[in-house]
Amino acid sequence: MYVDDEGIIRAARVGVVELDMVKRVVSVKTALPRPRLPSRNRAVYAIVVGMPREDLALVKIFADERMVPYNGFFTAVLHVSQVSDRPVKSIYDAVKPGDIIRATVTSPAAPYVVSIRKPQDGVILAQCSVCGHDLYRVPGKQALICPKCGNEEARKVSPYYVLSAKRSKPRV
Ligand SMILES: [Zn+2]
């Protein structure tokens, strides 16, 4: 601690002020920045990075439910049984590499495990696997459509999907 030009006592470091009334000492305890980690049953945002098997996708969690980025990425697994309440044969019918998903953390320790079973979870942004254009949500369907080439792809679509097609089918 030090006294500044105006005679005010300043802490030389950021932290928690501790008052010791017996010793008449004021000290500043350094507060360790607590790292933000994905926690159980909370929504997170992740990017699908790989599919080592037909029943498994690897994702990297990058932000919390308020879309605030974490300091780094957390690798997580998404199993095909955690896609929907209905049986899904292949993870490819739900997500594809490069997709941004909203998911719920079910196991909050490495390796993290996520689920997209909740109605609000699923893909929120994806690209066409034929031409690379952003895909649009087709209202009322668990599918996405490419406004450029007309390709339709199956996904577990979140209601938070960012791009929505107009009522009429988009044509190019
Ligand atoms: Zn396309």
Domains defined for the chain, CATH in brackets: 1-34 (no CATH), 43-154 (2.40.50.140)
107 CB-near residues (< 8 Å, 6+ apart): 40, 113
pLDDT of residue 112: 96
Q: What is the CA(139)–ligand 1 centre distance, in A? A: 18
For the entire predicted model, the pTM comes to 0.77
34 CB-near residues (< 8 Å, 6+ apart): none
pLDDT of residue 167: 53
Q: What is the mean pLDDT of each run of 10 residues along the chain (172 residues)?
A: 73 68 72 82 97 96 95 95 92 96 94 96 97 92 92 94 71 50
Q: What is the CA(170)–ligand 1 centre distance, in A? A: 12
Q: Which of 89, 84, 99 is nearest to 142 (CA)?
A: 84
pLDDT of residue 123: 97
